[in-house]
């Protein structure tokens, strides 16, 4: 293919009967971007990916890859390649033949296509397992082979459908690093669907948070984390409390990062500070931080993340009543 290229979605819509899965989304993914489509199940992220891949028809709108309008092109002629959630390796073919599959379809001679496939297997460090069948490989190994198979077509963009969800947590972190390294090395865009915000933040140059078929917010992980646009994004991205404050008779929502909240010593004055008194419902030790869940009237969920050091300097238990406080600067206003 023509090397890295921008991807642009313009008013892309997907209808299943009368249900709208993707509702007129606009998105531009510059060439060479690691983009994560993040959202809860049913938010339209997978439908969006499948429309880009060409495995789902576009009900309305346009998809462009570079200067090419790819709406009506078959998957293999779009310049994209897809890696499937369950890897979808052909069980009757060994690793080399799985990787060489698309070359076989094009009629490339056997020695030539096997040589090229071996090259890609080396790229994903699977050359030692070339003759094995998929059933003889672990989940992580199967994924590497699937990656090699997707990359053999020299795509301008690689589309990954929840690629890490089938792996155990330890392997997930390891494969995450490798995906990122590979993306940097190849210089093409990776579009990665996930419902894990941690995964998205670790990997993405561009996080696209989706909800109800729309893009709730798109930006760098840091932008999204520090400036969530609305209550949904703040809650989904994690690490935030969503509070409602009545200002001049108008109810407004704010997000406060859980790690910007401190617990006041007992009997401190609370005049002129943002504060909230509540009963400790849960103390969760997480290593560097200790998470406290407070129950307070009028607030559905309130979490405070204090450093381990601060917590153990003045510990308290579940059932104690404490006062949490934060600065005005840390109150981030949310769109309704």
Partner 1 sequence: MTARTTTIVTERREGTPSRRFNWGRVTDALAPYLQVAPLTLTFAVFLLVPIVTIVVVSFWDYDSIRVIPDFILLNYEELLTSSVTWRIYLNTLKYAALTWALTLGIGFTVAYFVAFHVKSLTWQITLFMICTIPFWTSNIIRMISWIPFLGRNGILNSTLISMGVIDQPLEFLLFSDFSVVLAFVHLYVLFMVVPIFNSMMRIDRSLIEAAVDAGASGWQVLTNVIIPLSKPGIAIGSIFVVTLVMGDFITVRLMSGGQSASVGLMMANEISLLQYPAAAANAVVLLGVVLIMVALMLRIVDIRKEL
The site for partner 1 (CB under 8 A) is made up of 53-55, 74-77, 81-82, 84-86, 88-92, 101-102, 104-106, 149-150, 153
| Residue nearer to partner 1 on the CB measure, 84 or 316 | 84
Q: How many CA atoms lie within 13 A of 219 on its CB side?
A: 13
CB of 200 closer than 8 Å to CB of 191: no
As measured in angstroms, the least distance from the Cβ of 87 to partner 1 is 9
- Least distance (Å) between residue 90 CB and partner 1: 6
We find the least distance from the C-beta atom of residue 102 to partner 1, in angstroms, to be: 4
Tokens of 62: 């346009």
Is the CB of 126 or the CB of 334 nearer to partner 1? 126
Closest approach of partner 1 to the CB of residue 97, in Å: 10
DSSP E strand stretches across the chain: 7-16, 19-29, 34-38, 60-65, 68-69, 80-83, 157-161, 189-194, 206-211, 214-219, 240-247, 250-257, 262-263, 274-285, 289-296, 299-307, 321-326, 331-333
Angle, alpha carbons 103-105-107 (nearest 5°): 75
Q: What are phi and psi of 55, to 5 degrees?
A: -95, 0
- State the minimum distance, in angstroms, from the CB of residue 76 to partner 1: 3
- Rank residues 71 and 226 by Cβ distance to partner 1 and give the closer one: 71
For the record, the structure tokens of 256 come out as 């406060």
Kindly tell me which of 150 and 237 has the beta carbon lying closer to partner 1. 150
- Distance of closest approach, residue 48 Cβ to partner 1, in angstroms: 16
Residue 57: CB minimum distance to partner 1, A: 13
**Pick from 60, 67, 69, 64: nearest CA to 12:** 60
- Rank residues 88 and 283 by Cβ distance to partner 1 and give the closer one: 88
Q: Which residue lies nearer to partner 1 by CB, 107 or 265?
A: 107
The number of beta carbons lying within 10 Å of the beta carbon of residue 86 is: 12
CB of 123 or CB of 273, closer to partner 1: 123
Q: How far apart are CA 47 and CA 58, in angstroms?
A: 9
Closest CA to 326 of 212, 245, 216: 245
Provide the minimum distance between the beta carbon of 254 and partner 1 in the complex, in angstroms, as a whole number: 44
Decide whether 151 or 255 has the Cβ nearer to partner 1. 151
Q: What is the DSSP letter of 129?
A: G
């Amino acid at each position: 293919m023509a090397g890295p290229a921008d991807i642009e979605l313009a008013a892309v819509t997907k209808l299943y009967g009368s249900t709208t899965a993707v509702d007129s989304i606009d998105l531009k993914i510059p060439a060479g971007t690691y983009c994560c489509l993040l959202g809860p199940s049913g938010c339209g992220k997978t439908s969006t990916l499948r429309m880009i891949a060409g495995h789902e028809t576009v009900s309305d709108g346009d998809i462009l890859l570079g200067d090419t309008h790819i709406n009506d092109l078959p998957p293999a002629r779009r310049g994209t390649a897809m890696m499937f959630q369950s890897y979808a390796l052909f069980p009757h073919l060994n690793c080399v033949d799985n990787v060489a599959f698309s070359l076989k379809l094009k009629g490339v001679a056997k020695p030539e296509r096997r040589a090229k496939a071996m090259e890609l297997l080396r790229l994903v460090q699977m050359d030692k397992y070339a003759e094995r069948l998929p059933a003889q490989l672990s989940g992580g190994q199967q994924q590497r082979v699937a990656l090699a198979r997707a990359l053999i077509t020299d795509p301008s963009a690689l589309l990954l459908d929840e690629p890490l969800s089938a792996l155990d947590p330890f392997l997930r972190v390891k494969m995450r690093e490798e995906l990122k390294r590979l993306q940097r090395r190849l210089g093409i865009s990776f579009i990665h669907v996930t419902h894990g915000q941690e995964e998205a933040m670790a990997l993405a140059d561009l996080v696209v948070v989706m909800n109800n078929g729309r893009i709730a917010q798109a930006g760098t992980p840091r932008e999204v984390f520090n400036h969530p646009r609305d209550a949904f994004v703040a809650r989904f991205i994690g690490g935030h409390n969503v509070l409602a404050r009545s200002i001049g008779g108008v109810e407004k929502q704010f997000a406060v990062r859980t790690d910007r909240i401190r617990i006041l010593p007992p009997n401190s004055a609370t005049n002129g500070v943002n504060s909230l008194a509540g009963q400790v419902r849960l103390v969760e030790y997480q290593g560097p931080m200790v998470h406290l869940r407070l129950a307070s009237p009028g607030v559905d969920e309130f979490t405070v993340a204090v450093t381990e050091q601060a917590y153990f300097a003045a510990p308290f238990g579940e059932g104690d009543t404490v006062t949490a406080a934060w600065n005005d600067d840390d109150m981030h206003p949310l769109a309704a």
